[in-house]
Each structure stands twice: as structure tokens, then as C-alpha cells.
Amino acid sequence: MSSARGQANHSLYLARILIAAWRRELSGESVPASVLAQAYLPGIRGHLRNGYGWFLVEITRPGAVPLAPPGCVAELPEVSAGKSVPPEVREFQRLEASGWIADMLATDMPGAVTTASSGNLATPSLSPEPAQAEQWADQLQGLFDRMADSLDEY
């Protein structure tokens, strides 16, 4: 396993730990669900985005592994002359444009609704649940698994 693939798997593992913690906290019912979403969802999405970025590095194999993963396909280094763009990268481009990866990478939180709080300030009222984050993690794992065979052939 290359360093980039190991980093991708580790990021996915960290996301799953946070998802499980979020579920435990929800079951305790001591903190409102919207507050738990604010606490857990950004960290989970950050780990999933890092996992995705490291997997992009694994697919393109740029030579030296960067210090930080790219955030999307557009941040990958240019393909060397004479080489073609891997089909996995083209698939990711489509999913980033309109698909579950676009939702996962979005800077705003899907399902966030802004409500007025005391005074004149607006605070987000989040409706996402751990199930959404778990679905992203499962879909990412599915891509890792499906593409692993072709990557191992390189």
C-alpha cells in the first residue's frame, strides 16, 4: 500500500470514528441534534475530503507524495506529456460537478437552514444526521474498493 492510499484509508477511518461518536451522542439525548451536527459534521467532512484527496494522489501517482492532499481534481498536477488522464479521474470530475462528491466537497453544509436567534444574529440550524456522513463514507469506501484492482495493475 502506498503512502497516499494509506493516508486515504486513515482519513476514512477517522471519519468513521467521528460518525460513531456522533451516533452515541445523539442516543444520549443530552445535547440538541443541531448542536451535535455543528460539532461533528465539519470534522467528518474534513476527514472525508482528505481521504478523497489522498485517493486522487494515489490514482495519479505524481511521483513525490505532497504534504497535503488536493481538495479536488482541479488541484491535481498537470498530466505529463504523452500520458492520458486516468479514467478514474474523469469519473471523479463528473461526480465533483454533480453528484455525491459535489455535496461532500461543498463549503456549505447540505441541509443547513439559517434561523434568527436572539438579537439580530443568524445561526445555522443543521438537519443533517450521521446517516448522510455514513453514506458518504460508504460511497468513498466503495470507490476505493472498486478502483483498487485497476490501481494495483499499474
Residue whose cell numbers read 444574529: 121
The confidence band for 125, taking pLDDT boundaries of 50, 70 and 90, is very low
Map residue 83 onto helix, strand or coil. coil
Portion of the chain with pLDDT greater than 70, in percent: 82
The confidence band for 77, taking pLDDT boundaries of 50, 70 and 90, is confident
Question: Quick check: 133 pLDDT over 90?
Answer: yes
Q: Where are the beta strands (DSSP E) in 7-153?
A: 112-116, 122-126
Return contacts of 95-101, CB within 8 angstroms, 24+ apart.
96/72, 100/135, 100/136, 100/139, 101/52
DSSP designation for 70? -
By C-alpha distance, which of 73, 30, 80 is closest to 49? 73
Question: Quick check: 49 pLDDT over 90?
Answer: yes
Check if the beta carbon of residue 136 is closer than 8 Å to that of residue 104.
yes
Among 35-44, 87-96, 118-127, 136-145, which stretch is predicted with the lowest mean pLDDT? 118-127
How many other CB atoms are found less than 10 A from the CB of residue 53? Answer: 24
Q: Give the pLDDT of residue 23.
A: 96
Give the H or E element holding residue 144: helix 130-153
Q: Give the pLDDT of residue 154.
A: 55
